[in-house]
C-alpha cells in the first residue's frame, strides 16, 4: 500500500505531511498505520499537519480530530496558518507552550493553560479554557477562563470567564500585570506583587 503521509521531527516539532492528491480515506488509513508503527512520534501529544496546499473540509478536519483524540493528540493545520484544533481529551491541568510571538492571523485554542514566550500581535488569537501567561505584550485577542498574565495589555479584545475587559496598561513593564476572576465572579486586576487587587471596568460578552 502506498504511503500517503510522512512523519518527521523538525526543530523539535512533529510534522505530518499529507499527499494533497490522495483520497482522504487513504490518508486516514495511512495515519492509522503510522500510529501503530511510529507511536513514539505521537508521544508529545501535539503535531503539525502540513496539507501541502490542500484545503481540508470541515468533515475531513472532524475525522482527523476523532482519530487523533483517540490517542490523546492535539494538532494544528499548516504552519503558516497556525490553526490549533483543541483536543477535548487533554486534561485541563495541562499546559501548551508557544515558544514564539503569536503573529497576525495565527489562532491557538487549547483546553488547558497556554504559555506564550513572546507577544500576541494585533489580529493574533489565543483562547484557553484555563489561564494564559504571556511573556510580552498582548495586542491581539485573548480569551481565558480564569486568569491572564502579561507584561502589558494593549489588547484588541480580552475576555475572562465571559466578561469582556476594556482596561489597558502601559505598553510594557518590568513586572507582570494580572487579570483574574475573583470569588465574587468579578474581574480583579493588579501587578503580580501588588497587595490588593484593583477592580476594573468590564461588560458582559456580547
* DSSP-derived secondary structure for 43-110: TTSEEEEE-TTPPPPHHHHHHHHHHHHTTT-EEEE-TTTTEEEP-TTS-TT-EEEE-S-B-TT-EEEE
pLDDT digits (tens, 9 = 90+) for 56-89: 888 998 888 888 877 877 778 876 554 444 444 4
Distance from C-alpha of 178 to C-alpha of 165, rounded to nearest angstrom: 12
The 10 Å Cβ neighbour count of residue 141 is: 19
Q: How confident is the model at residue 36 (pLDDT cuts 50, 70, 90)?
A: confident
The pLDDT value given to residue 71: 80
- The answer, yes or no, to whether residue 42 has pLDDT greater than 80, is no
- The answer, yes or no, to whether residue 93 has pLDDT greater than 60, is no
Helices 58-69 and 24-37: angle between axes, nearest 10 degrees: 20
The pLDDT value given to residue 10: 65
- The more confidently predicted of residues 3 and 31 is 31
The pLDDT value given to residue 206: 44
List, in order, residues 6 or more apart from 206 with CB less than 8 Å away.
none
What's the pTM value of the predicted model, to 2 decimals? 0.57
Q: How confident is the model at residue 92 (pLDDT cuts 50, 70, 90)?
A: very low
The pLDDT value given to residue 106: 83
Lowest mean pLDDT among 119-123, 159-163, 201-205: 201-205
Q: What is the CATH number of domain 91-206?
A: 2.160.20.70
Distance from C-alpha of 11 to C-alpha of 203, rounded to nearest angstrom: 42
Q: What is the mean pLDDT of the chain?
A: 80
- The answer, yes or no, to whether residue 163 has pLDDT greater than 70, is yes
Question: What residue ranges do the domains of the chain occupy?
Answer: 1-86, 91-206
Residues 134-160, mean pLDDT to the nearest whole number: 94
Amino acid at each position: 500500500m502506498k504511503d500517503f503521509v510522512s512523519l518527521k521531527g523538525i526543530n523539535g516539532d512533529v510534522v505530518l505531511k499529507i499527499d494533497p492528491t490522495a483520497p482522504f480515506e487513504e490518508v486516514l488509513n495511512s495515519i492509522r498505520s503510522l500510529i501503530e508503527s511510529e507511536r513514539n512520534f505521537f508521544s508529545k501529544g501535539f503535531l503539525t499537519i502540513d496539507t501541502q496546499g490542500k484545503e481540508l473540509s470541515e468533515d475531513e478536519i472532524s475525522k482527523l480530530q476523532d482519530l487523533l483524540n483517540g490517542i490523546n493528540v492535539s494538532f494544528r493545520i499548516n504552519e503558516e496558518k497556525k490553526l490549533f484544533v483543541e483536543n477535548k481529551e487533554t486534561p485541563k491541568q495541562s499546559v501548551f507552550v508557544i515558544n514564539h510571538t503569536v503573529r497576525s492571523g495565527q489562532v491557538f485554542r487549547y483546553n488547558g493553560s497556554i504559555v506564550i514566550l513572546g507577544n500576541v500581535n494585533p489580529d493574533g488569537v489565543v483562547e484557553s479554557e484555563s489561564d494564559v501567561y504571556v511573556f510580552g505584550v498582548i495586542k491581539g485577542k485573548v480569551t481565558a477562563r480564569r486568569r491572564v498574565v502579561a507584561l502589558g495589555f494593549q489588547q484588541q479584545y480580552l475576555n475572562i470567564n465571559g466578561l469582556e475587559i476594556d482596561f489597558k496598561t502601559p505598553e510594557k513593564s518590568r513586572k507582570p500585570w494580572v487579570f483574574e476572576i475573583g470569588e465574587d465572579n468579578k474581574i480583579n486586576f493588579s501587578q503580580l506583587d501588588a497587595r490588593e487587587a484593583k477592580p476594573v471596568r468590564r461588560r458582559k460578552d456580547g
